[in-house]
Amino acid sequence: MAISRRAFLQAAGLGATAVAVTACGPTMAPPGQTMPSASPTPTTTTRPPAVPADWEKLRGQLAGKLVLPSDAGYATAKLAYNPLFDSRQPAAVAQVANPSDVQACVALAYASRIPIAARSGGHSYVGYSTPDSGLVVDLGGMKDVQVASDGTATIGAGARLMEVYAALADAGRCLPAGSCPTVGIGGLTLGGGVGVLTTKYGLTCDKLVSAQIVTGDGKLRTVSASQEPDLFWALRGGGGGNFGIVTSFTFQTEPAPQLTVFQLQFPSGSVGDVLGGWQQFVADAPDELWTTMGVSGGNPPTCRINGCFVGSQSGLNPLLNKLVAATGTQPSDRYTLSKSYLDAMRYFGGCASFSNAQCTPSWNGNGVLKRESFTATSRVLAKPLSDTGKFAELMAGRNGMDVLLDSIGGAAARVGATDTAFPHRGSLATVQIYQGSTAASVRTAVGEVRDNLGDLIGAGAYVNYIDAGVKDWGTAYYGSNVTKLRKVAQQYDPDGVLSFDQSVAKA
Q: Domain coordinates of the chain in residue numbers?
A: 55-138, 145-255+480-506, 256-479
Alpha-helical runs (H) found in 97-202: 99-112, 161-170, 185-191, 198-201
What are the two backbone dihedrals, phi and then psi, of residue 408, each rounded to the nearest 5 degrees? -130, 35
Domain 145-255+480-506 falls under CATH 3.30.465.10: yes
* pLDDT tens track for 223-244: 999 999 999 999 999 999 999 9
Among 441, 361, 368, 458, residue whose Cα is nearest residue 401: 441
Per-residue model confidence (pLDDT) at position 22: 28
Find how far residue 494's CA is from the centre of its chain: 26
Among 412, 398, 399, 408, residue whose Cα is nearest residue 431: 408
CATH architecture of 256-479: 3-Layer(aba) Sandwich (3.40)
The topology (CATH level 3) of 55-138 is 3.30.43
Per-residue model confidence (pLDDT) at position 364: 80
Per-residue model confidence (pLDDT) at position 46: 74
Per-residue model confidence (pLDDT) at position 45: 58
Per-residue model confidence (pLDDT) at position 9: 52
Per-residue model confidence (pLDDT) at position 405: 98
Judge whether 259 and 308 are in contact, CB under 8 Å.
Answer: yes
Q: What burial class does residue 314 get, using C-beta atoms within 10 Å of its C-beta: 0-12 exposed, 13-18 middle, 19+ buried?
A: exposed
Per-residue model confidence (pLDDT) at position 408: 97
Per-residue model confidence (pLDDT) at position 10: 52
Judge whether 377 and 466 are in contact, CB under 8 Å.
Answer: no
User: Same CATH fold, 145-255+480-506 and 55-138?
Assistant: no
Q: How far apart are CA 321 and CA 316, in angstroms?
A: 9
Q: According to the 3-state scheme, what is the secondary structure of 45-94?
A: CCCCCCCCCCHHHHHHHCCCEEECCCCCCHHHHCCCCCHHHCCCCCCEEE
- Radius of gyration, CA atoms only, the chain: 22
Per-residue model confidence (pLDDT) at position 157: 84
Find how far residue 502's CA is from the centre of its chain: 16
Per-residue model confidence (pLDDT) at position 182: 96
Q: What burial class does residue 68 get, using C-beta atoms within 10 Å of its C-beta: 0-12 exposed, 13-18 middle, 19+ buried?
A: middle
Helix/strand/coil for 265: strand
What are the two backbone dihedrals, phi and then psi, of residue 336, each rounded to the nearest 5 degrees? -135, 145
Residues of the chain with pLDDT under 70: 1-45
Amino acid sitting at position 12? A
Q: Is 6 left (phi over 0), alpha (psi -120 to 50) or beta?
A: alpha
Find how far residue 271's CA is from the centre of its chain: 27
What are the two backbone dihedrals, phi and then psi, of residue 286, each rounded to the nearest 5 degrees? -65, 155
Per-residue model confidence (pLDDT) at position 32: 31
